[in-house]
Structure formats: structure tokens, C-alpha cells
Amino acid sequence: MARVAVLGHACLDHRFWTAEFPPVRARTPVGAHRTDVGGPGAVGAVAVARLGGEAIFFGRRGDDATGEQVAALLRADRVDTLAFRACPGGRTPVSGILIARDGERYIFPYLGTALPDDPGWLPLDALESADAVLIDARWPAGAMRLAEAARRRELPVVLDLDLDTSEAWRLAHHATHVIADEEMATACGGVGATLKRVSDLGVWGAVTLGAGGVAYPGGSFPAFRVTVLDTTGAGDVFHGAFALAMAEGQDEGYAITFASAAAAQRCALAEVPTRRDVIRLLEGRG
């Protein structure tokens, strides 16, 4: 079974489905509520596990009840949380998410407090059993330490690039695969400019465009057409699925197809899909 080491942001999501957005009154009822794991890295780890791989999550949380809840949710999906550190005095990040009728989500994040930046405690020996690494740019110091160690071991390193910062671009230089999102590409001058900037680093790159599919050097892949219930975490699932495909020794073309189907099913099912869910969608397209 392929194993992916994931480092990044973890939070507790409170999702609310509302029939009226934006609200026009002081009190707006919601039709449903769900508490779930959030954060690019943490959701990516859950995707790896549900899609048939093994995932170990490296991250920081507070030593509070919210952090314990996030860790428990990860363990319930068979994610190894031994490297998910409870920081004394820290507060775990939380997000409130409103989901409109069309499935589009609006996120209101609280980023937590007192989560130390020093990555010296990271158990890098855990990479000895890993087949690929997935990082996001929310904890640059930790991501850099893990990426450098992974590259020394000649492992694929997939970066979820959704922040246009100098630290994020330094991480891109240490990745083997960089996947940006549409907002990031817009901030960087467009899809073409973003792909060129990644290519100039000598790194393979792609840009996810939601319903517009995925753009990559020399082509694009159309999105799977599904009825959307919730777009929350679709990009995070894409990254997790792509990293798992790399860990399994697949090429980028297969990885894009597999990850696109996984992200589409995340939108259609309002939860991270299983491998059976993804295969069903792939077979439906033929």
C-alpha cells in the first residue's frame, strides 16, 4: 500500500448549508450542519487514506478540546497522527463555512494562536517508509524541512500552492510537482504566467480551475460534470489524490485524471470520496 507523508494546516470545520446567501436578515436559518476535518494538509491526508493509501500527518494544533477533536477525526479515517503535535498553550484553528444553494462555499477562518514555528521536532525518520510527500504553504518552516528531507530521499514532493508569498515560492523550488489554484493564478498574472513561473524553476506544474478543469504545460483536462452539493475541500482532495497517484508510481496524466475525479466526487457527495466512488465516476466517463 502506497504511503504519503502530509504536512500542513489542520483545523475544525463547521459547515452550514444555507438557502439564503448573502444573508439579508440578522438571523438566517440553515438546513444542515456538519463538523469535519478542515485545512489543506489535513483534508489531503484524509483523501489519501479514503482513496486506499496510508497517510501520516505532520502538523500543529493546540492542546485544547478542539485539537483533540481534529486528531480523533483524523484517526477515525486511519490517518497516522503521531506527528500531529499538541502545542502547550496553543489554540487550534477553526473555520466557519457557509454553503450556498449552488454548492459554493464561503470560509471564515480563525487561524489559532501560539503554534510555534520551529520545525526541529519533526520526526523525519518517518519518511523512510513514505513513497511521496504532500505539503501546503501554511507552515513554511515545517514544509521546507520536510521537503528538503524528502528530496534527499528522492521522493516526489507535491506542493499545494495557494499563497503568493516569497516563502511559498521558495517551497516551490524544493518540490517536484506544484499545483496552484485559480485564485493563486489570478494573483500571479494568469494561468499561463503561473505555469511559466513554475516551469522556470524546473518543476512540473498545473493549475486547478474548478468547473474549468485543470491546466498544465501543453494542455488541459476538463472537469467531470456532477451535481454539486458542497465545494469545500475539493482542491485539497485533488492534491491528496494526486500525491497518492505519485506514490503509487503513476504518471502525471493518470494523476490528473484520478485527482479530478476525486475532487468532483467530493463536490457531489459533500464528503471525501472512497476509491470505489472515484472508480465509479471514471468508468462512467469511459
Asked if 246 and 282 touch (Cβ cutoff 8 Å), the reply is: no
Query: What's the predicted TM-score (pTM) here?
Result: 0.97
Torsion angles phi and psi, residue 105, rounded to 5: -110, 150
Measured distance between the N- and C-terminal CA atoms of the chain, rounded to whole angstroms: 26
Q: Decide if 99 is inside a domain.
A: no
Task: Give the CATH number for residue 144.
Answer: 3.40.1190.20
Total domains in the fold of the chain: 1
Identify whether 265 is part of a domain: yes
Show Cβ contacts of residue 82 under 8 Å, excluding neighbours closer than 6 positions: 56, 123, 126
Q: What is the pLDDT along the chain (286 residues), one digit of tens a residue?
A: 999 999 999 999 999 999 888 988 899 999 999 999 999 999 999 999 999 999 999 999 999 999 999 999 999 999 999 999 999 999 999 999 999 999 999 999 999 999 999 999 999 999 999 999 999 999 999 999 999 999 999 999 999 999 999 999 999 999 999 999 999 999 999 999 999 999 999 999 999 999 999 999 989 999 999 999 999 999 999 999 999 999 999 999 999 999 999 999 999 999 999 999 999 999 987 6
Cα dihedral: 194, 58, 242, 97 (round 10): -70
Domain of residue 163 covers 3-8+40-89+117-285
Residue 67 lies in a domain: yes
Whether 105 maps to a domain, the answer reads no
| CA 212 to each of CA 51, 105, 225: distance values in angstroms, whole numbers, following the listed order | 24, 17, 10
Determine the Cα–Cα distance for residues 41 and 143; give it in Å rounded to an integer: 11
Quick check: 14 and 37 in contact, CB under 8 A?
no
> Is 20 part of any domain?
no
- Listing DSSP states for 121-149 in one string gives T--GGGGGG-SEEEEESSSHHHHHHHHHH
161-215 per-position pLDDT tens digit? 999 999 999 999 999 999 999 999 999 999 999 999 999 999 999 999 999 999 9
